[in-house]
A and B are shown apart, each in its own frame.
Chain A
Amino acid sequence: MIKTRDVIDPPAAKAHSAAPADVRAQPLIEVKGLFKRFGHTDILRGIDLSIAKSEVVCIIGPSGSGKSTLLRCIAGLETYDHGDVRIESELLGYVDRGGRRTRASTSELNRVRRNVGMVFQQFNLWPHMTVIGNVREALLRVRGMPNDKATAQAGRMLDMVGLSGKADAYPSKLSGGQQQRVAIARALAMEPHIMLFDEPTSALDPELVGEVLQVMKQLARDGMTMAVVTHEMGFAAQMADTVAFIDQGRIAVSGSPQHVFRRSENPRLKQFLQNYLDRNAFWSSDAREA
């Protein structure tokens, strides 16, 4: 049985094609030689990745390969040991002064990542606030928006993810899929230039995955720049401009979905993908080649 969610959207529906070369020259996110170690383990061992405006990058790889850590470095949630993470050409997390690098203050960190939105595997909604309260919190506290304006903007975001009816509910009353859509609305409320998704559907029951992917697909079609760590190969095959396969802290294979899913001869990647082939889970990557 094919999982329906992977064949809902005809691949031609994607509005934007891969970004043209001149836009790629000024990446929104630029990661260079990123190196990160936890204790005695090297998690990231020299990652180079650049994400252009409106590009959708899907990061795949076995668990423990460092893909979530990479995303968390881009979000400013992890420190890193060597290399650069640049957001709209500004260095994230550190300040370079006269060849010496020091940790950036929280306010400097927040300034550089102000245009980055993050969605987590565990949703991380604040349970003591209503749905609308979650979405407008940063508008009130960070943007300093008056209450009526913030509420209106938060309401538009909820509308966008199809949850305006749940504005006054507490998160605990929502399904996992609904909670994740609220989390997406919360991140979108700050009008980010790029959205990071860290395994956004991995904590969901299978029948709830589709509604979250629908929202993400709509975002991609609207031209949002996205970096998505995912196990949803169907989503990657349909929506990604670039798929990056991370293995043991390095990007082992990177390229178009066709290239990564069909043409690569990398044995680790083939072995990794075999698990999904066995489960018949990225059926629709065929259609994209047509």
Chain B
Amino acid sequence: MPHFNLSVIAANLPQIGAGFITTLGMWLASVLLGAVIGLVAALLQQIGGRGARAVIRVYIELFRGTPFLVQLFLLYYGGPSFGLTLTPVMAGVVSLALYGGAYFAEVFRGGFASVPRGHVEAAACLGLSRWQVICRIQLPQMLALILPALSNLTIVLSKETAVLSVVTVPELTFVLTGIGSATFAYVQTLLVLCVCYLALVELATYAGNWAETRVSRFLA
């Protein structure tokens, strides 16, 4: 294979490493922020008034109903015309968190719905406050049920970080496609890119499985 050698990769290893770190950071930040957004949205749907519920519904429909690429463009390129100028990294994290948050909200909503009403009523009869019921009864119980969905969503979002390359976030895809076009080593760089994402996903899968076995001890 005369054209296939990995010296290009070896020569740019520090850059690729930095890209990997950036991807990891963007991913973790947007997953954490997105999970918080989703949880708050699901809680508001639970206990909020009619107005709050309608706002949350519209948010979920909008962000699930439009492509992430378009949302990112709108925030990054459209933001300045509303006085909102963000760095590529900021725009990337915020848009990915908002996008993921809409899905997280649905996962949490399903989780709340899965906890039998009687478990909440039993807690209420014993005098636990609304907040205590959420934190002590509903959240821990639904966590075991929604963990597979949470880890699945986390995996999906890890690959969505690739989209952030279009607004010049120096993450893996941006770095490796850059190296590819500069050296014409397209195949090598794309293969390495795949390997990097596979590694990330494996990591997430492993963490998810670990959490699942830990949390679901009391089931079955």
- Give the interface of A toward B (CB within 8 A): 75-77, 106-107, 110, 113-114, 116-118, 120, 122, 124-129, 137-138, 141-142, 170-172, 183, 186-187, 190
Contacts and interface: CB of A to CB of B under 8 A. Distances in A.
8 contacts: A106-B124, A110-B129, A120-B118, A126-B123, A128-B141, A138-B126, A138-B127, A142-B132
Nearest to B120: A124
A173 B28 CA distance: 37
Interface string B202-220: 0000000000000001111
Contacts of B122: 118, 120, 124-126, 183, 186
B141 A126 contact: yes
Which are the 3 A-B pairs with shortest beta-carbon distances? A138-B126, A124-B122, A124-B118
Nearest to A143: B127
Contact of B125 (A118, A129, A171, A172): A118
Given A137-B128, A170-B217, A186-B126, 19 more contacts: A76-B124, A110-B124, A110-B129, A118-B121, A118-B122, A120-B122, A122-B116, A122-B118, A124-B119, A126-B122, A126-B141, A127-B141, A128-B218, A137-B126, A138-B128, A141-B132, A172-B220, A183-B122, A187-B125
Contacts of B116: 122, 124
A166 to B, nearest CB: 14
B145 to A, nearest CB: 11
Contacts of B128: 137-138, 141-142
A262 to B, nearest CB: 35
Contacts, number: 73
B40 interface: no
A128 B136 CA distance: 10
A142 B126 contact: yes
B75 to A, nearest CB: 39
B126 A107 contact: no
Interface in B106-120: 116, 118-119
Nearest to B141: A128
A126 B119 contact: yes
B8 interface: no
Contacts of B126: 137-138, 142, 186-187, 190
B218 A106 contact: no
B20 to A, nearest CB: 37
A107 B141 CA distance: 24
Contacts of A117: 125
A194 to B, nearest CB: 12
B127 A172 contact: no
A172 B118 contact: no
A159 B218 CA distance: 23
A117 B127 CA distance: 10
B125 A127 contact: no
Nearest to A72: B121
B137 interface: yes
B76 to A, nearest CB: 42
B218 A127 contact: yes
A117 to B, nearest CB: 7
A183 B137 CA distance: 15
Contacts of B132: 141-142
Contacts of B144: 128
Given A122-B116, A126-B119, A77 B125 contact: yes
B219 to A, nearest CB: 7
A107 B133 CA distance: 13
Contact of B130 (A106, A125, A128, A142): A106
Nearest to A118: B125
Contacts of B123: 126, 137-138
Contacts of A187: 125-126
Contact of B127 (A77, A114, A122): A114
Nearest to A107: B129
Given A118-B122, A124-B116, A126-B137, A172 B219 contact: yes
A114 B126 CA distance: 7
B212 to A, nearest CB: 14
Contacts of A126: 119, 122-123, 137, 141
B48 interface: no
B78 interface: no
Interface string B131-146: 0100011001100100
Contacts of A124: 116, 118-119, 121-122
B216 to A, nearest CB: 9
B122 to A, nearest CB: 4
Interface string B172-188: 00000000000000000
A77 B132 CA distance: 17
